[in-house]
Amino acid sequence: MNPFEFVFIILGGVFVLGALKMRFDAQARIIAEREARIEQFDKGREAELESEVEELRERLHVLERITVDGRETHLLSDEIEKLRDK
């Protein structure tokens, strides 16, 4: 084997390995960016859901207050039974 051929083969190998490394690094960067966007979206969605749950809890509290305030529990159950009978 000629020394020039040996150098050429080594340089070709270095070039191929460098190209593969750049490709894998680019793929890793793309995946990391995608995961960051998904995580950011999830945080926004999570905050939205938490506010919705809080709103629903407030509504439930108001409904409980309306149905129970100033009335005896058995009177309320009697009214419910009357509505069922109709």
Q: Each residue of 45-66: pLDDT tens digit?
A: 888 889 999 999 988 888 887 7
At residue 74, the pLDDT reads: 65
| Domain region containing 20 | 3-85
Say what the pTM is. 0.45
Quick one: pLDDT at residue 72? 60
User: What are the pLDDT digits (tens) for 64-84?
Assistant: 877 776 556 667 777 777 777
Buried b (16+ CB within 10 A) or exposed e, 48-84: eeeeeeeeeeeeeeeeeeeeeeeeeeeeeeeeeeeee
The token duo for 63 is 């409904």
First-last CA distance in the chain: 103
Please tell me the total number of residues recorded for the chain in this structure. 86
Residue 56, CB half-sphere, CA atoms under 13 Å: how many?
Answer: 6
Number of domains in the chain: 1
Report the pLDDT averaged over residues 19-44: 89
DSSP SS3 for 86: coil
